[in-house]
Amino acid sequence: MLVGKPAPEFRATAVVNGVIERDFSLTDYIGEKYVLFFFYPKDFTFVCPTELLGFQAALPEFAARDTVVVGCSTDSEYSHWAWCNTPREEGGIKGVSYPLVSDINKTIADMYDVLAGERYLDEQGNTRVEGELVALRGLFLIDKQGIVRHMLVNDMPLGRSIQEAIRMVDALQHYEAFGEVCPLDWHKGDTAMEATPEGVAAYLKS
C-alpha cells in the first residue's frame, strides 16, 4: 500500500512526444506538478490503446489542473516508439505525446506492486516464473511533494475511467485548498464537508 508514502523513485528511458529520452524521472516534477502515473500491460494490444488515447484526449483537462500524465509498461522503449508512430487505424497510438516509460527490467512495476506473475526458485535453485511478468492496470495520483494520495489497480481485462481519474485530482486539490473532505460521488463544484461531527451533520442535512 503506497497511499500516504513517497512515490518510489526511478530513472528510466521513456518515449516523450515520439522522442526517446534516456534519463526520465518522476522526481523532476516534485514541487512543480501533480502526477498521474499509470501502468498498462502491453503495447500493441486491445484495451490499452483505448486508455492511452483517452488520456491523450484528456490532457487539456489535466493540464488545467496542473497535472501531468505519465504511462508505463514493461515493453522496451523501441516498442513504445514504434507504437507511438503507428497510425491509429492500424492499431497504433500515433499522436500520444505524454511520456511512456520503459520498464523492461520489471523493476518499476515491482516497486509499485503492480507486477503480475510471480518469480520463484525451484528445488534446484533455478528461477522460474508463474504467469506473465507484465504490469496490471495500476494508477497512482502523486501530489507536488511526491506523496502518493490515491491508487487504483485493475486486472488486465478491466479498463479504467478517465473521468474518475480527473475527479480524484479535483478532490485532492479541493481538500488542499479548503481543508474540506469530499464525500461519496463528490464532483468539482459540489458541496464538500468539514471533517468534524458537526460538519458531517450539516452536510447530511443539506
Element (H, E) at 188: none
Closest CA to 142 of 25, 10, 5: 5
Q: Are 42 and 93 in contact (CB under 8 A)?
A: no
**Residue 69, phi-psi category: left (phi > 0), alpha (psi -120 to 50), beta (remainder):** beta
What is the rounded distance in angstroms from the CA atom of residue 172 to the CA atom of residue 182? Answer: 9
For the chain, how are helix, strand and coil distributed in percent, rounded to 5?
Answer: 30, 25, 45
What pairing do the DSSP bridges indicate for beta strands 12-16 and 100-102? antiparallel
Q: Which residues contact 62 (CB under 8 A, 6 or more apart)?
A: 36, 68, 69, 166, 169
Cell representation of residue 43: 503495447
Cell representation of residue 114: 503492480
Catalytic (active site) residue 48: yes
| Residues annotated catalytic, as ranges | 48
